[in-house]
Structures are given as C-alpha cells and as structure tokens.
Amino acid sequence: MANLSLSLYLILRIYALLLLFNVSFAKTLKRDMKALNEIKKLVGWRLVYSWVGDDPCGDGVLPPWSGVTCSKVGDYRVVVKLEVYSMSIVGNFPKAITKLLDLTVLDMHNNKLTGPIPPEIGRLKRLITLNLRWNKLQQALPPEIGGLKSLTYLYLSFNNFKGEIPKELANLHELQYLHIQENHFTGRIPAELGTLQKLRHLDAGNNNLVGSISDLFRIEGCFPALRNLFLNNNYLTGGLPNKLANLTNLEILYLSFNKMTGAIPAALASIPRLTNLHLDHNLFNGSIPEAFYKHPNLKDMYVHKLSKVSLCKTIYNTHVLI
C-alpha cells in the first residue's frame, strides 16, 4: 500500500511539472504582449520595476509580471487575470486592457484611475470579476457592461460615477454581487435588476437616487436570491411595500437616511432570515408592530431619527433603537 501511495504521488508530481513546463514554454499571444506593454508605459513606477522584460507571462528566464496570470489556450499563452491593486496607478483607465479578450479577472481597486470606463469594456466577454472600487473614475457607466454575460462580481464603489444606473446591468444573468455605493448616481434604480435570479448583494447606498421602493419591486417574483440590500443615504420617498416580505432570503435591509414615509408594515416581520433592519432618519410614523419583537432572528432594528436621548430595548433578542 505504501509503494502504491508513493507511486501515485510521483505520478501526480510529474504531471504537475509537465503542465508547468508546457505552459512556461508556450508562446505568449502577441495581442496580449502588445496590450500589456502598452499598459506598462502608462502605469506608475511600482509596476514598472516589477514588470521586467517584454513577455508578461515570462520567457523562461524572466518570471511572469507581478499581478499577471496566464493560461495555455491551444498553442499559446494568454492573460486570464490582471490583478494590480493598491499600486498608485494614475491616469485614465487604460483602454489597452480591453484588448485582453481572455481576461476572467480584472482587479485594479485602490489606485488613482480617472476618466470614464471605455465602452470597449464590453469586449471582455469572459470576465467574471471586475473590481475598480476605490479609484477616481468618472462620468456615466457604459451600457456595454451589460454585455459581459459571465460577470459574477461587479465592484465599482467609492468612485465619482454619475448619471443613471444602466438598465443593461439586468442582462448580467450570472451577477451575484453588485457594489455601486459611494458614487454620484442619479435617477431611479432600474426595476429590471429584480430579474437577476442570482443576485445576492446589492449596495447602492450613498448616491443621489430618487423614486420609491415600490417602483423597484414592481416586477413579480423579483430579487429571489437577494440577501443584503443597502439603499441608505439617498433621496428615496414613499412607503415600505408589503412585497418586501416576498424576499424570503433577505438578511440585511438598510434604508436609513432617506425621505420615506408611512407606517412600518407588520409584513416585514415575516421575512424569516432578517437579522438587521435599518430604517432610521426617515419620516415613518405610527408604532412598531409587535411582531418585530418576536422575530426569532432579528438582532438589530433602527427606526425614527436619532436624538440626544435614545431609548433602547432588548426584547426577544432584538435590539430596537427608537
């Protein structure tokens, strides 16, 4: 048995070495070499010193460039991941990135990128993760992002985007996480986003969005997988619709600092997994339905405007700030 285990281990090691040898000595696609070298001319000094040579995938002597991951496709190596974050990269979003057609991950968060995302971003059909948060990107989001059919993670928070949220985002049928908070988006949140069957997390807080929650939930059966909804610090009006109770997977509902009115419906207390409900700094009236105090999972509930003297109750494991 010991000899068999040793033989299997050696076979696996040889197989892994063969794979590494195969990838290392395949030629890098000229398209990707040209695109990365264009980017190299534009980025900051930190990358220039770690991007040595002309081949981003390595040439057998020099290693692959830092933050660049390649994979063998046919007879060539192609760039599949570009992860260059917290590198003080300055200037406009490099349009050459849109020539890396095999990219699955593009992570450039926490840099100093400015200007718009070019519409050519729609060429990256294999992209699964797009992370551009914590930059200084501007202008409107290009609707071409809606053509990235494999996109699962979209992080655009903490930038200076403006204009309306493109309804084309509803074409991203694989999307699970959408972070667009801390920007300058205006207009209404497209109700079409509710058709995204896999969307688990939607954060559009700290923008300049208007409209009512009822408009967002007008499509029957919307947001079936949603767990976290953050729409705080906007200009949303109207009341809380009973349809919110249909979000049976919802755990966090954060609607603080809006201009919402009316009574808090008892139907919300029937959301089985709800743990955090933030409704403070709105214009709600009436009393808190007793059902909230008996909710088995609700941990924190914040209602009304905060004052110098706040009354806190703990009933049935629920922390209620009144």
In terms of Cβ atoms closer than 10 Å to its own Cβ (0-12, 13-18, 19+), residue 69 is middle
- Per-residue confidence band for 7, with pLDDT thresholds at 50, 70 and 90: low
- Residue 234, SS3? coil
- The Cα–Cα gap between 244 and 260 comes to 15
Look at residue 313 in the predicted model and tell me its pLDDT. Answer: 41
The pLDDT of 138-164, averaged and rounded, is 98
Amino acid at 51: W
Cβ within 8 Å of residue 190, ≥6 positions away:
165, 166, 167, 169, 170
- The Cα–Cα gap between 48 and 32 comes to 17
Average pLDDT of the chain, as a whole number: 89
This prediction's pTM:
0.87
Whether residue 14 is predicted with pLDDT greater than 60 in this model: the reply is no
Higher pLDDT, 7 or 130: 130
- Per-residue confidence band for 282, with pLDDT thresholds at 50, 70 and 90: very high
Cβ within 8 Å of residue 134, ≥6 positions away:
109, 110, 111, 157, 158, 159
**Per-residue pLDDT tens digits for 80-109:** 999 999 988 999 999 999 999 999 999 999
Report residue 24 as tokens.
């290392």
Q: What is the DSSP string of 15-51?
A: HHHHHHHHHHTSEEPHHHHHHHHHHHTTS-HHHHHH-
Higher pLDDT, 117 or 320: 117
Question: Domains in the chain, start-ordered, CATH in brackets?
Answer: 23-303 (3.80.10.10)
Look at residue 23 in the predicted model and tell me its pLDDT. Answer: 45
**Per-residue pLDDT tens digits for 170-206:** 999 999 999 999 999 999 999 999 999 999 999 999 9
- The Cα–Cα gap between 221 and 113 comes to 38
Look at residue 15 in the predicted model and tell me its pLDDT. Answer: 45
Whether residue 306 is predicted with pLDDT greater than 90 in this model: the reply is no
Look at residue 20 in the predicted model and tell me its pLDDT. Answer: 46
- Per-residue confidence band for 37, with pLDDT thresholds at 50, 70 and 90: very high
- Per-residue confidence band for 228, with pLDDT thresholds at 50, 70 and 90: very high
Look at residue 220 in the predicted model and tell me its pLDDT. Answer: 94
- Per-residue confidence band for 316, with pLDDT thresholds at 50, 70 and 90: very low
- Per-residue confidence band for 26, with pLDDT thresholds at 50, 70 and 90: confident
| Bridge partner residues of 78 (DSSP) | 71
